[in-house]
Each structure stands twice: as C-alpha cells, then as structure tokens.
Structure 1
Amino acid sequence: MRGLSGDFSTMPLKDLVVYLGNRRVTGALKIERGDVRKQLELRDGHVVTASSNQPREFFGQFLINMGHLTEDQLEKAFGTQAQTRVFLGKILVMTGLVPEPTVRSTLSHKFREMVLDAYHWNEGQFSFEASDSAPEVAGLDVSVDLLDIHREGEFRETAWEAIRAVFPSGAVRLSVDEKKLPERKPGSMDERIVQLIKDGLSINGIALALHATDFFLYQRLYALYRLDAVKVSDAEPEPETAVVVEEEQDTSVIGSESSSDEVLQAAQLFLDAGNVRDAEALARRAHEMSATPQSAEMLKTAQARLLVELRRELSEPARVPALQVAPAHLKTLALSAPERYLLSRIDGRRDVAAIVQVSPLQELDALKFFQGFVDRGLVKLAPR
C-alpha cells in the first residue's frame, strides 16, 4: 500500500486505525478538521512520533497537566532547548527535572490522546503516505501500537456514555461538597479542580485552565461524581460563545450583509493597505461564509501577517504585562474563559512571550487577546 486518503464521513478514524494497524504500515498519517492538524509517524503499525497544532496536546502541556512539571520549569527547559536544539524530553532527563520513565510514559500518553481525541470526529480529512524505511526518531524512542490505541478507544466509548449521562455539556457549571472529597495534596489535580469549581468556571473553563484534554478531565470529574463530591450545579450554564468570543459585529461593517466574494475582496484591499487586523477579521468572516481554497489562502496569509505584527508590538523586544485594574474588578467584567486564563498568568515577572508559550492557546489567539487587554486599558506593557 503506497497511499490512502479520504474523509471521516466515509471512513471514521477508528476504522482507519484498525486498517493501518492490521497492515503494520510504515509512513506518515495526517489528520485534520478545520484549523486542527495532527501528524503521526508510524513504524510497523506503531506510533513513534506525533505532533499537533493544538497547544493542549503539546508534550510540555501534558507534563504540566499530569503534575510532573511546573510552568516555570517548562519555561526554563524551553530556554535550554532554544540554545541547544536538543529535544525537550532529552533536556528534561539530562537536567534531572523529570525521570526518563516518566518522560517515556507521558510521551506514550500523548500519542494515545492525540489519536483518541479525534475518534469522534464526524468530519475532516486524512491522508497516509507509505514509506519504505522507518522514520528516524531524534528524541527518546517510544512507540505505541495502533491496535492498542483502538482497544482503548472501544473502552472509552462505553466510558463516554456514562460520563455524558452525568455531564451533558462542557458549558455546565459544577458544585462541590468538600466533606465528601478524598484526601488531596496541595497543588494536586483534584485540588486545582476543586478550586476552579469554587471559582464558578464551567467544565470548558476548567479544561482550559488546566491545559487538559477532554477525557483526562471528564474521567476525573466522573470519579469525584461517583463519590457524590461533585455534581452539576443549578447555576446558569456558560454561554456557548464564552469559550471563543467574537466581537459583536456592527451591521454597517463590511461583511455583515455582503457576499463572501465581496468580503474577500475587501480583505485583500485592507491587506494591501497594511491594515492587517481588519484584513484578518474580514478574511475569517469570508471563510466562515463560504470556505473555498481562495478564502483559506487569504485567511492563512492574513493570519501570518497579523502574527508578525502582533509579535513586533507585544513581544519583540520582550515586554512584561502589568494589570491596571484590581483583581476584584476583573471578576465583574464580561470576560471569556481564555481571557480570564491569560489575565491570571500575569505576575509582573513573565513577559508576554513567556506567558503565551506555556498557555493552552494558539499563539495568534493569545496575542490577539493581549492586544485587546492593552486596547481596553486592562493591561500595560513595560520593557523587561
């Protein structure tokens, strides 16, 4: 078999995993849905490396989420990596921050989660390119059998049925009975979950604050539910728009009633004039109205230009953000979960780039939020 491609509406990922696993293939598997892209390198039916553009699926985020590393330690490890070009896992082992068995088990967990997170995609595309030779692994040699991943996926289908019967949506808020909680260590995952529940976050907000993949968080919440320590609150669920908030559109703005072609043309005009922010907003609107190769290319170009501009304005050279309003006042503002997360990371010490680097958000999205903070007077930037 030299190659294979298709979409998940005709061949679900779980069927593809079994197909490739049984044939013990070697090569590269790419899967994508919307803006989410993942790539797996396979050797004899085993995943040997995996990458994703979702920050919550970065290796460092898994280490933080599982309690093996702090954000400060990860930030220092990234600094060493930038100087040495050595893979992160090897740096952590060499410096003694994380034992090698822990690094290996976390990498294995990452490979599994990246695949299983996409098991329920009903849309999206995949492509597999076979190779005659096994890919070289520059980091630690870790592999996970595709068939083992599939067997775990079958177990999770049953688990998700039970979980969804209790937690029907990520928008719901929770309540906690601390008297029924098991003993927990300070800084542990359960301790952090409890505090975020008390802060009034929805499950979606908790997942963002913890850098957590869905199954990792939901299985822990379900375990606490079984102890009668956590349940769905009577509080109003979080609006679906609260996780990724779009600014309200003025009906007089180009794109409110125009055709997608007109919006795309306007985006090009703004881009040519150097107005990158409005160009990116219009390109995104055009792509949402009618996704075409032209709109996708325009959006990609505008986003790349905007990323360069925001980096220059916010983090090159390094700038340290400082809150300009009292934390108590922040709680009264209508902020999205990503906004509250980023504001909570401001400590007067870390610069914008450092906060963005260890956040569970895409770099462009995080920088756009920071620009909004500055524009609204919530944050002031000062040179390091």
Structure 2
Amino acid sequence: MRGLSGDFSTMPLKDLVVYLGNRRATGSLKVERGDVRKQLELREGHVVSASSNQPREFFGQFLINMGHLTEDQLEKAFSTQAQTRIFLGKILVMTGLVPEATVRGTLSHKFREMILDAFHWEDGDFLFEAADTAPEVAGLEVSVDLLDVHREGEFRETAWQAIHAVFPSGAVRLSVDERKLPERKPGSMDERIVQLIKEGLTIDGIALALHATDFFLYQRLYALYRLDAVKVSDEPPESEMSVVEEENGERGIIGSETSSDEVLQAAQLFLDAGNARDGEALARRAHEMSPSPRTAEFVKAAQEKLLVHLRRELADPPRVPTLQVAPGHLKTLQLSAPERYLLSRIDGRRDVAAIVHVSPLQELDALKFFAGFVDATLVKLTPR
C-alpha cells in the first residue's frame, strides 16, 4: 500500500489503526501532538517496535509499575546499558533480573498503551510510510495485532465514560474503607494504592509514585470504587501551584510586555546574557501569547539551552540532594504532584541525575523542579 498522512481532526487514530490493521500494512507510523512524538514499526498489521519521547511510556517505567523492577534495579540496569550498548530488555534477561517471558509481556503491554493513550487525541498529525519489509528489530521479538488494539480501544471509550463520572480529575484525593477491600498480598498493586491513598496523595500523585499510565491506575481505582472501598475524598482538589511556579512569579520575569515579539526580544536578551532559566520562561510565555512555528522553534532552542545549563548546575558533576526541612513540613506546602514525587525520592544517597533518570518525568521538567527546590531552600545539593 502507499503512504498516508493527515491530522487527527479528520481521521482519528482509532480509525487509522483499524485501516492499517485491515490492510495488514507494513511500514513506519509516526504520530505527533505538540511536543509528544511516537513512532511505531509495523509488520503485516502488527506492531513489532515502538518508541515514545514520553517518560511514562518508556519500557523501564512499565516494569516498575508492574512490580517487576525497583527504581534502584532500573538505575543499575541503565548503567550496564550505557557501558554495553545492549538493549535494556536483553540486559534484564541476561542478568536474571526479569524472566524473558515477563520482558516480552511488558513490551507487548507498552506497545498497546502507547497507541491507546493517543486514541483520545483530537488534534495532532500522523505520517505512515509504507515499506516492502519492516526493519529488523534489535531486541526481543514482540508482535501486537493492530486490530486487537482497536477492539481494546472501543472497550476503553465506554470504560472512560464511567471512570470520569466517578473521578473527575487527577487533582482529587481519595478515601479508603479497608473493611471493604478484597484480600491483598503484601507489595501488591492494591496494597501500594491503599498506602498512597492513606498518605494523602492525589490520583496524579499516585500515578507518579507507581510509574503508572492513566488507564492502568484509573481502571483499578474504579474497580475498588465499585466495591465501595474507595471514593473521592471531601478534601478540596490539589492546587496546581508549585514551588517552581511561585519562584518564577516572584522573580517577575513573565510580566506586562505588550506583544509576543517584545517578549521574544526579552527572551533573546536573557539567553544571550547566559540566563537560560528566565530566557526559557519568557520564550514559553511568548508562545502562549501567540503560538506559531517561529515561537515553537524558539521555545525548543531555549529549552535545549536550559537543559544544558541545568545539567551543569545540578547534575554534572554528580550532586546528592538532601532535604532541608522536616518531612512533616512538606505536607503543609502547596506542592504539585511531580514535586511531591521528586521530594519523596530524596534519600541522601542517590544523586540528582539518578533520581531524574528513573522518574516518569521529562528530564527538563524534573531538573526545573530541582532548581526550584534549591531556590526555595527546600533542598541542599552536595557534590558526591
């Protein structure tokens, strides 16, 4: 078959998936929405390889979420991968950390979740490039039928309607009635969910702590809700304000400029002066005021400069974070779910890079949070 391109406003991904599946297409499918990019390699209507720039869709995150690896084990596996250049799945099998059958099953789960997550996209673009043969897969062979994914997507449409009627947003907190919980084993998913609910985390916070994709978590919460064991708490939803946002607001860098061009000019001046943090913030502000390919490219360039700056400032050479406030005090602060997740990973042993590397957050976002912690004197960094 020939190649195909378009946008999801005219051809939703679920329709594209069934189209390619029915034709047993072979080739490469790329989908994009904003900064999110995913690529699938197809062989005769089956996904045989998939990649995403979203950390929560990385293979290691699925392994942690499903209880097959700890964060420490994943970090050690990453170190081995950096030295050997062998694919992560093969390393885990070779070292005996994860059985081959489990690696294959988790890869299959990753492929499905990557596609299904994009089924709800109402905008974005796709490009399918047909090929006579699919590229060789470097790693363990896994195959997922697109038509099976489409059937799962139809089921999830109905499931999401019921779920959202109960859990309106990820910012809500939950309450649990342990008397009505099913029997659960120590360390099981239900046990971990219950513990995180009791710690007062929001649904978003629970997802980060579990390294979980949205549907995986919400589906289990809904099952517990149907048992009358879990419900939305009467506490008000968590505020979206964060330490990082407060710090940026206090510096007054995103202010009263009258046009997007003026904000871009100010951003360029900051970047030229070596102030990547304020330059990047102004670049984002200009793009919010008047989105265009020009402002999008400017934001991308500013973010690349900021990432280099923050790596040098926070992670290279390695620096170990330690909390400068009592854990009880953190509970009184207005912190976002990602901030609470990162602060909970500080143990006085792991350095910033190690924490960020295994987190379900984009590297730049995580480093910006750490910079905010330092600015707010919540965290002190000590060279290793």
TM-score w.r.t. the length of structure 2 is 0.96
Q: Judge which range, 81-90 or 170-179, deviates more.
A: 170-179
Corresponding residue for 2:27? 27
Query: After the TM superposition, which residues 76-95 of structure 1 pair with which residues of structure 2 at under 5 Å, given as runs?
Result: 76-95=76-95
Q: 3-state SS of the aligned residue for 2:185?
A: coil
Using the aligned pairs only, state the percent identity.
Answer: 84
Query: After the TM superposition, which residues 59-208 of structure 1 pair with which residues of structure 2 at under 5 Å, given as runs?
Result: 59-208=59-208
Alignment coverage as a number of residue pairs = 383
CA drift at 1:183: 2.0
8 Å CA contact retained: 1:249, 1:256 = no
How many angstroms apart in 2 are the aligned matches of 1:335 and 1:169? 17
Any runs of at least 4 consecutive aligned residues in structure 1 with deviations exceeding 3 A, and if so which? Answer: 242-257
CA drift at 1:186: 2.3
8 Å CA contact retained: 2:244, 2:372 = no
Counterpart residue identity of residue 296, structure 2:
A
Counterpart residue identity of residue 36, structure 1:
V
CA drift at 1:50: 0.8
Q: Judge which range, 242-251 or 77-86, deviates more.
A: 242-251
Q: 3-state SS of the aligned residue for 2:218?
A: helix
Q: 3-state SS of the aligned residue for 1:119?
A: helix
- CA distance change for structure 1 residues 254 and 338 in 2, over 3 Å: closer, same or farther? closer
Structure 1 runs not aligned, ≥5 long? none
**1:135-173 Cα shifts (integer Å, max 9, x gaps):** 110010101011110011111112222222222222222
Query: After the TM superposition, which residues 319-358 of structure 1 pair with which residues of structure 2 at under 5 Å, given as runs?
Result: 319-358=319-358
How many angstroms apart in 1 are the aligned matches of 2:241 and 2:110? 27
How many angstroms apart in 1 are the aligned matches of 2:242 and 2:374? 20
**1:119-144 Cα shifts (integer Å, max 9, x gaps):** 11111111111222211100101010
Q: Judge which range, 88-97 or 320-329, deviates more.
A: 320-329
Q: 3-state SS of the aligned residue for 1:299?
A: helix
How many angstroms apart in 1 are the aligned matches of 2:63 and 2:129? 30
CA drift at 1:3: 2.0
How many angstroms apart in 1 are the aligned matches of 2:250 and 2:162? 43
CA drift at 1:258: 2.0
Q: 3-state SS of the aligned residue for 2:120?
A: coil
CA drift at 1:245: 6.7
CA drift at 1:81: 0.4
How many angstroms apart in 1 are the aligned matches of 2:129 and 2:251? 47
How many angstroms apart in 2 are the aligned matches of 1:245 and 1:194? 29
CA drift at 1:354: 0.5
Counterpart residue identity of residue 29, structure 1:
L
**1:29-64 Cα shifts (integer Å, max 9, x gaps):** 111212211111111111111111111111000000
8 Å CA contact retained: 1:171, 1:203 = yes
Corresponding residue for 1:291? 291
Does residue 277 (structure 1) correspond to residue 277 (structure 2)? The answer is yes
How many angstroms apart in 2 are the aligned matches of 1:153 and 1:254? 41
Q: 3-state SS of the aligned residue for 1:295?
A: helix
CA drift at 1:217: 0.2
**1:174-214 Cα shifts (integer Å, max 9, x gaps):** 11001111222222211111111112222122112211111
TM-score w.r.t. the length of structure 1 is 0.96
- CA distance change for structure 1 residues 348 and 272 in 2, over 3 Å: closer, same or farther? same
Q: 3-state SS of the aligned residue for 2:268?
A: helix
8 Å CA contact retained: 2:17, 2:150 = yes
How many angstroms apart in 1 are the aligned matches of 2:249 and 2:272? 23
How many angstroms apart in 2 are the aligned matches of 1:82 and 1:175? 42
Corresponding residue for 1:8? 8
Corresponding residue for 1:238? 238
**1:230-254 Cα shifts (integer Å, max 9, x gaps):** 0111111223x25897346479645
Q: Judge which range, 132-141 or 201-210, deviates more.
A: 201-210
Q: 3-state SS of the aligned residue for 1:168?
A: coil
Q: Judge which range, 339-348 or 29-38, deviates more.
A: 29-38
CA drift at 1:295: 0.7
How many angstroms apart in 2 are the aligned matches of 1:335 and 1:197? 17
CA drift at 1:272: 1.8
**1:212-235 Cα shifts (integer Å, max 9, x gaps):** 111100111011112111011111
Counterpart residue identity of residue 98, structure 2:
V
